[in-house]
Amino acid sequence: MKFTTQRTSQLFSLGRSIMRHTIPIVFVAVIVFVGCSTTPKVHTQTTASTTAATVPKGSREGLEFLADIPSLKDVSLKMTEAEFVDILHQQKLDYKRDVSAGQPSYWVKPKVHVIVVFGFRDGRCSGIQRLPD
CATH number at residue 79: 3.30.1450
Both 20 and 49 in one domain: the answer is no
User: CB of 43 within 8 A of CB of 131?
Assistant: yes
Closest to 120 in 3D by CA, of 95, 85, 90, 93:
85
Please tell me whether residues 97 and 115 are part of one structural domain: yes
Give the tens place of pLDDT for each residue, 15-69: 555 555 554 444 433 344 444 333 444 444 555 554 444 444 445 678 999 999 9
Domain count, the chain: 2
Same domain membership, residue 97 and residue 56: yes
So what's the pLDDT on residue 132? 75
**88: amino acid identity, one letter:** L
Same domain, 12 and 77: no
User: CB-based contacts of 90: which residues, under 8 Å, 6+ apart?
Assistant: none
Same domain, 49 and 8: no
Nearest to 111 by CA among 72, 64, 82: 72
Structural domain of 53: 45-132
